[in-house]
């Protein structure tokens, strides 16, 4: 049971605390609604509705938080991605996030992006920018935007295949090795098809 009390919240604290409660419930596999979250957080449903108009709004806020967490995982290394091996690291980090936090991952990507949620749009945009800049460095003559979309599709596809049990592995290390090998195979095809300079 939550030890939080209504009197303990001030201004934006209620929204943050409620979001943290909803995140915990989601990732613990608990069924949640605005009423369930308000009860767990120790606040009235009316107070919570001031911050989230309905469950969709709450899930959109969770998705925004998840995208920020994913971005943090993707940028954990000090140096920006600059090699094909670095792209493999990005793909591995993406798949690892999906497998460590499957419930949140599904909330992040099952529904269409809520264009009215500025934080969600910004976080998604920063991931796009990260991938585009990485592709521009690794493939300076290529279409960075198209390559970024292809790279995201690859990582997301691998994540979903593992999450849904279509691909299996005995360890996280085996997953990482498979993701890197699959991406390397795709990049080798691209390199082989690239025109050779005269």
DSSP 83-99: SHHHHHHHHHHHHHHHH
Given a cut of 80, whether residue 1 has pLDDT beyond it is no
pLDDT > 90 in the chain, percent? 64
Q: What does the pLDDT look like over 87-110, one tens digit per residue?
A: 999 999 999 999 999 999 999 998
Q: What does the pLDDT look like over 97-148, one tens digit per residue?
A: 999 999 999 999 987 777 778 888 999 999 999 999 999 999 998 999 999 9
Q: Quick one: average pLDDT of 27-41? A: 90
What's the rounded Cα separation, in Å, for the pair 4 and 69? 25
Please state at what angle helix 144-163 crosses helix 84-100, rounded to 10 degrees. Answer: 40
What's the rounded Cα separation, in Å, for the pair 189 and 193? 6
Check if the beta carbon of residue 104 is closer than 8 Å to that of residue 66. Answer: yes
What's the rounded Cα separation, in Å, for the pair 177 and 183? 10
Check if the beta carbon of residue 186 is closer than 8 Å to that of residue 158. Answer: no
Closest CA to 100 of 30, 27, 35, 34: 27
Q: What does the pLDDT look like over 145-175, one tens digit per residue?
A: 999 999 999 999 999 999 999 999 999 999 9
Q: Which two tokens stand for residue 138?
A: 């690794």
Task: For residue 33, give the 3-state DSSP assignment.
Answer: coil
What's the rounded Cα separation, in Å, for the pair 6 and 26? 22
Check if the beta carbon of residue 169 is closer than 8 Å to that of residue 178. Answer: yes
pTM: 0.86
Q: Looking at residue 162, what is its pLDDT?
A: 97
What's the rounded Cα separation, in Å, for the pair 120 and 122? 5
Given a cut of 60, whether residue 20 has pLDDT beyond it is yes
């Amino acid at each position: 049971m939550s030890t939080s009390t209504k009197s303990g919240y001030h201004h934006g604290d209620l929204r943050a605390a409620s979001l943290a409660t909803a995140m915990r419930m989601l990732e613990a596999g608990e069924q949640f609604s605005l009423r369930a979250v308000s009860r767990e957080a120790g606040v009235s449903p009316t107070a919570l509705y001031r911050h989230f108009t309905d469950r969709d709004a709450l899930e959109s806020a969770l998705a925004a938080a998840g995208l920020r967490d994913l971005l943090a995982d993707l940028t954990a290394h000090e140096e920006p991605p600059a090699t094909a091996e670095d792209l493999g690291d990005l793909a591995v980090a993406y798949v690892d996030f999906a497998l460590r936090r499957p419930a949140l991952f599904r909330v992040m990507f099952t529904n269409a992006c809520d264009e009215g949620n500025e934080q969600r749009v910004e976080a998604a945009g920063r991931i796009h920018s990260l991938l585009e800049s990485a592709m521009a460095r690794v493939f300076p003559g290529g279409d960075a935007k198209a390559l970024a979309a292809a790279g995201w599709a690859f990582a997301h596809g691998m994540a979903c295949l593992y999450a849904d049990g279509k691909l299996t592995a005995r360890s996280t290390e085996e997953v990482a090795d498979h993701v890197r090998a699959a991406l390397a195979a795709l990049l080798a095809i691209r390199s082989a098809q690239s025109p050779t300079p005269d």
